[in-house]
Amino acid sequence: MIGVIGGSGFEKFEDFKTIEMHTVETPFGKASSGFKRVCVDGIEFLFISRHGEHHELLPSEIDYRANIYALKLAGATSIVSFSAVGSLQKDLAPGDLVIPYQYIDRTKGLRKSTFLGEGLIGHVSLAHPICEIMAEGLRQIQKEFNFNIHFEKTYICIEGPYFSTLAESNSYRQMNCDIIGMSNFPEYALAREAGLPYLPCCFVTDYDCWDTSRPHVTVEEVIRVMRENNQKGFSILKKILTMPELANGSTAREGGLRTGLFMDSEQIPPNKRLLLDTLTK
C-alpha cells in the first residue's frame, strides 16, 4: 500500500474519500494529525498531512520519525511525498514539478533524523536517496500531463522558518542546487532506514530571492500557486495509484536497517527489538 505525505489540499477534491482516521502512538510520539486511510477511484492508500491537518507545525516541529514509523506500522510499502519548493534556476518555473534525485542538508541539527542510536548501531547509504525506479516510471508517462516535469535535480533543505538571504541563495546556486525547501530532510533518510522506496514530488511556488529582476514574492501569490499545484499533484497521485509497477518502487532493501546494522542480533537491546522488527518487516 502506498503511503502519501502531503498537505491538506488533497482533501478538498471530491474523489478523495476518507475511510478511517488513525491516531498512531509511536516510540517517538504521535504522528502528525490528519493520518488516515483513504480511497481514490476505488484504490486505498495511507495519507498523512506532514504539517498537521490544519497546517499547525513548522518544518522544524514535525516529528519525522513518528510519521515514517506510523506509515510503516500501518502497512505502507512505498512513499510518495508532495511538497512546495522555491526555484534556484530560471528554467524551473512556478507551477513546474521537480523530481530531485539528490539532496543537500543545510538544517541545523534540531530535527531527529535517524532511528539509530541508543544501542542501535549502524549506517545506511544515501548515495541515491530516492527510488529512481519510481522516478523513471513517472518519466515514462510525463507527456500525459499538461505541465512541465523536471528530473534529476538537486534539492537543498534549509531549517527555516525564514527564507534565504540573497547571499545564501546565490551560494546555493553556486553549489549547483536547483530547488530549495524545508521539509524533505530527514524524511527521505528515514524512509531509507525503514526500507521504504521514496518518490519526492516537489512543486515550484516561486523563484528564490537570487533573482533580483523579479518583485519579491508575496504570501498571496504563493498560496495561489500552491492551490494550482494541488490540482496537479492530485492528478499525479491518481495516475500513480493505477500503476502498480510505478507505485511499488524498488523491492530492493539495500541501505535500509535490514542490511545497515553494524551489530549481531544478540547485541540488539531488548527495548529496541520491536522497533527494529517494525522497520525491517
- Which position among 208, 211, 264, 277 bears the catalytic label? 208
Q: Taking the CA of residue 109 as centre, how many other CA atoms within 13 Å lie in the half-sphere pointing to its CB? A: 0
Active-site annotation holds for 91: no
CA distance 1 to 152: 26
| Active-site pick, 63, 206, 211, 277 | 206
CB-based burial label for 205 (10 Å; 0-12, 13-18, 19+): buried
The answer to whether the beta carbons of residues 171 and 119 sit under 8 Å apart is no
Q: Catalytic site residue 208?
A: yes
**Alpha carbon distance 40, 244 (integer Å):** 15
Please state, in angstroms and rounded to a whole number, the distance separating the CA atoms of residues 65 and 191.
9
Rounded Cα distance between 62 and 59, Å, is: 6
- Cβ–Cβ under 8 Å, residues 178 and 89: yes
What dihedral angle (degrees, nearest 10) is formed by the CA atoms of 184, 190, 195, 197? 0
Residues 6 or more apart whose CB falls under 8 angstroms from that of 104 comprise 154, 155, 156, 157, 175, 177
CA distance 257 to 254: 9
One-letter identity of residue 3: G
Distances (CA, A) of 97 to 84, 239, 249: 9, 15, 19
- Cell readout for 86 is 522555491
Q: Catalytic amino acids?
A: 206, 208
